[in-house]
Structure 1
Amino acid sequence: MPRSAPTPKPWPSDAWYIACTPDELADKPLGRTICGEPMVLYRGKDGKVAALEDFCPHRGAPLSLGFVRDGDLVCGYHGLAMACTGHAASMPGQRVKNFPPIRSYPAIERHGFIWVWPGEAERADEAKLHPLPWAEDAGWAFGGGLYHVACDYRLMIDNLMDLTHENYVHAGSIGQPEIDEAPVTTRVEGDEVVTTRVMSAVQAPPFWRMALRSAGLPDDGLVDRWQICRFSLPSHVMIKVGVALEGRGGPDADPSAKAAAVVVDFITPETEHSHWYFWGFARQFAVDDPAVTASIREGQRKIFSEDLAMLEQQQENLLRRPDRKLLKLNIDAGGVRSRMMIERAIAAEA
């Protein structure tokens, strides 16, 4: 019988994904599954990050349970030392130099994150790394965190590209009735899907009142509020958000009249039903105040934990009812177009 073609994975592989943050590699190797690939990440002798298949070629133990010695990753089971290239380097009392190498993955450290390329190594290109202009600009401050989420990474993209849910899931922090009432536009700009919602002459919700105070602005007057969501491959969503004093230009207002930021969302698939969610908040107000960073980080953490609970239960429902057809509305256009872009990228690799 002819062999059937393998089922394509639900994510592009030839792309840079965030694997971890530098502090996660402070003192020992880190095991993490990225796009279905179990990897071990560690720092070699020169401090450069390396990423290997998390599989000891001797007896199959996870290398992530080992330790680093003189720049080599030593298996915690029998002591086989692996070089950053994936080749066996040494083992007490044994000759191992002719062992076949295990897989190594391109890895780079940039913008405060460690990125890996789970696809074909020869296609890895640092020029394809997602640009983060705010990460290298002293005029911005950043604070963020990491969640492990038990749902398909595309459900998170759907969530971020349609912020209508804020009025329900986040009613006590960033939700407000005008979100339902304001029209949403969706368009494709080059290699990005963009959804835009602008609310004029509204009261700022609790989170944004706090942001206005942090920016030295009054928090009790009317403001113009905006949400501009940008999806880009393989699975990133950057959301320009903010409030400006009414009639001062909205997103284009002078910095002295607004509290503006970018909600940073890097979504790294783990398995078909789980992902790593690296979130953050890059802002252009009170950039030298660590207390504001800590306050916003805590506020964002609470907001994202509300999303997590909803998304994980949504995934459970979908797995229980795989044949149910879901409805699509105009507010879903951003997520639908983002999924189309993902599907095209997967097909191109195939």
Structure 2
Amino acid sequence: MHIRNAWYVAAMSNEVADKPLGRTICNHNLVLYRGKGDKIAAIEDFCPHRGAAMSLGYVEDGELVCGYHGLRMGPDGNTLSMPKQRTDRFPCTKSFPVEEKYGFIWVWPGDKAVAAETPVPTFHWAESDDWAYGGGHYHIKCDYRLMIDNLMDLTHETYVHSTSIGQKEIDETPVKTRMEGDQVITERYMSDIKAPPFWQMAMGFQGLDKDADVDRWQICRFNTPSHIMIDVGVALAGNGGFEAPAEKRAGSVVVDFITPETDENMHYFWGMARNFQAQDAELTDKIREGQGGIFAEDLEVLEAQQRNLSRYPDRDLLKLDIDAGGVQARRLIDRAIKAEQESA
């Protein structure tokens, strides 16, 4: 089950250019395309004539054209024309609220009236020229909540990411979980340690001694429906850690937009936003490449985990203190779904 009345990232803006894109979001098969004035549109991927996938068609003069028999459709799902046919009684195809913001295409799978009153979430790193962002997209064969569990408990870094961001001190340092309004926060602070390879690289970009002792932080923030922003970084030891001045630290925000595709598949839009050397495009590419490799290490783990859970659906899983962030996030999701069901 998924929260319906929420904005989900459905695609990166550069995924939808001159051709339509078919994508499933929360069990809805959609086609995304650019209509007149380059305005993004999202409608059900279904031609009312014979049920063909509109995503296999093309866009001409801002109209979506079915690649089967040439039916033309507008962004509201209404048929505009079809060769040698009267279309005034053709059924309307469902359309979805859609917005383009921050280089992402956002879709609302629920009530249109609620969408009209709910703005797309805002993020400070996306609205300032002092920040740079680079990221990508993975399709993962697992329940989206498994990725939430993964990101709200970074203890796994010691084992899954041992050659990049993992280190034994993560295991040895307690994690704290708390609620701040409707946000779940898990945080871990490590003092007087050596930086792992990825952060040694980042320190080098900042002109810091990569061999120096550092204070390291991991602050994970979950918001419904499934967005997680993680403050991560290191600072030269004894300079205030997360609060250290810019010249003493290397930090960033790990950006995680987790979008359900079906009950056992998901889209993962990952990236990193940083507020140092923001104009260095080469550095952005290098960090994106490194981060993409790190996140790829999670895929095999999560997909195998999903296969196990599907194979043994009656087995209970343990809930330890390190799982508290994921457990609280799931409670928020369940509460929102229940409220939607009751209001319906």
- Is TM more than 0.5 here? yes
CA distance in 1, matches of 2:194, 2:107: 43
Q: Quick one: which of 91, 112, 117 aligns to 1:121? A: 112
Name the structure 1 match of 2:23: 32
Name the structure 1 match of 2:186: 195
- Cα deviation code 1:141-179 (max 9, x no counterpart): 111000000000000000000000000000000001100
Name the TM-score, length of structure 1 as normaliser: 0.96
CA distance in 2, matches of 1:97, 1:347: 39
CA distance in 1, matches of 2:117, 2:65: 29
Q: Quick one: which of 35, 40, 46 aligns to 1:44? A: 35
Name the structure 2 match of 1:6: none
1:23 has 2:26 as partner? no
Q: Quick one: which of 91, 108, 113 aligns to 2:82? A: 91
1:286 has 2:277 as partner? yes
> Could you tell me how far 1:202 is from its partner in structure 2?
0.5
Amino acid at match of 1:252: E
CA distance in 2, matches of 1:22, 1:267: 16
CA distance in 1, matches of 2:116, 2:180: 23
What secondary structure, in the 3-state scheme, does the structure 1 residue paired with 2:76 have? coil
1:172-187 residue pairs with structure 2 within 5 A?
172-187=163-178
Name the structure 2 match of 1:152: 143
CA distance in 1, matches of 2:288, 2:127: 20
> Could you tell me how far 1:126 is from its partner in structure 2?
6.2
Equivalenced residues, count: 341
Q: Quick one: which of 314, 321, 324 aligns to 2:312? A: 321
1:57 has 2:51 as partner? no
Structure 1 gaps of 5+ residues are 1-9
Name the structure 2 match of 1:171: 162
Amino acid at match of 2:97: P
Q: Quick one: which of 64, 67, 76 aligns to 1:76? A: 67
CA distance in 2, matches of 1:132, 1:97: 43
CA distance in 2, matches of 1:48, 1:122: 20
Identity %: 61
1:195-214 residue pairs with structure 2 within 5 A?
195-214=186-205
- Cα deviation code 1:188-208 (max 9, x no counterpart): 101100000000000000000
What secondary structure, in the 3-state scheme, does the structure 2 residue paired with 1:275 have? strand
| Equivalent pair of 2:18/2:34 in contact (CA under 8 Å) | no
What secondary structure, in the 3-state scheme, does the structure 2 residue paired with 1:348 have? helix
Name the structure 1 match of 2:291: 300
Name the structure 2 match of 1:131: 122
Tell me which stretches of 4 or more aligned residues in structure 1 moved more than 6 Å.
none
CA distance in 1, matches of 2:174, 2:119: 33
What secondary structure, in the 3-state scheme, does the structure 1 residue paired with 2:184 have? strand
| Equivalent pair of 1:202/1:222 in contact (CA under 8 Å) | yes
Structure 2 gaps of 5+ residues are none
- Cα deviation code 1:16-59 (max 9, x no counterpart): 00011111111200000000000000011111100000000000
> Could you tell me how far 1:128 is from its partner in structure 2?
3.7
What secondary structure, in the 3-state scheme, does the structure 1 residue paired with 2:335 have? helix
| Equivalent pair of 1:87/1:97 in contact (CA under 8 Å) | no
| Equivalent pair of 1:31/1:40 in contact (CA under 8 Å) | yes
1:276 has 2:273 as partner? no
Name the TM-score, length of structure 2 as normaliser: 0.98
CA distance in 1, matches of 2:187, 2:119: 25
| Equivalent pair of 1:236/1:266 in contact (CA under 8 Å) | yes
> Could you tell me how far 1:183 is from its partner in structure 2?
1.1
> Could you tell me how far 1:235 is from its partner in structure 2?
0.3
Name the structure 2 match of 1:219: 210
Please tell me the root mean square deviation across aligned C-alpha atoms, in Å: 0.8
- Cα deviation code 1:60-86 (max 9, x no counterpart): 000000011111111000011011111
1:236 has 2:213 as partner? no
| Equivalent pair of 1:45/1:70 in contact (CA under 8 Å) | yes
Which has the higher mean CA deviation after the structures are superposed, 132-141 or 263-272?
132-141
What secondary structure, in the 3-state scheme, does the structure 1 residue paired with 2:209 have? coil
CA distance in 1, matches of 2:119, 2:140: 26
